[in-house]
């Protein structure tokens, strides 16, 4: 409780009263964009790491 000023959640800079709780419009935009997109579509980054599993043709076995 040393400083009464709020800090920008984006860059931890001192917040500007005009852009509270952010320090600038840029940080406000960044946070807003993240908030808007974060809830709906999170960029899928876990696609990599999958070893081409369907590479083998796996021919149909005809056992008659
Ligand atoms: Zn900031």
Give the pTM.
0.51
What CATH number has the domain bearing residue 12?
3.30.50.10
CA distances from 36 to 20, 21, 40, 51 (A): 18, 17, 7, 33
Residue 18 placed within a domain:
yes
Residue 27 placed within a domain:
yes
Residue 31 placed within a domain:
yes
Residue 48 placed within a domain:
no
* 64 residues of the chain, pLDDT tens digit each: 555 678 999 999 999 999 999 999 999 999 989 888 876 555 566 655 566 566 767 778 887 7
The count of domains in the chain is: 1
- Got the DSSP string for 18-47? GGTTSSSHHHHHHHHHHHHHHHH-PPP-TT
Q: Give the environment of ion ligand 1: residues with CB less than 5 A.
A: 8, 10-11, 13, 23, 27
Distance from Cα 22 to the centre of ligand 1, integer Å: 5
**Which pLDDT belongs to residue 50?**
60
Residue 45 placed within a domain:
no
Residue 59 placed within a domain:
no
Distance from Cα 43 to the centre of ligand 1, integer Å: 23
Which residues constitute the domain of residue 14? 1-40
Tokens (6 digits) for 10: 């984006």
Residue 58 placed within a domain:
no
**Which pLDDT belongs to residue 15?**
96
């Amino acid at each position: 409780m040393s400083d009464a000023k709020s800090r920008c959640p984006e860059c931890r800079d001192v917040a500007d009263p005009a852009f509270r709780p952010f320090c600038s419009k840029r940080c406000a935009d960044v946070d807003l964009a993240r908030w808007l997109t974060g809830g709906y579509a999170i960029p899928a980054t876990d696609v990599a790491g999958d070893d081409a599993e369907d590479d083998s043709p796996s021919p149909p076995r005809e056992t008659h």
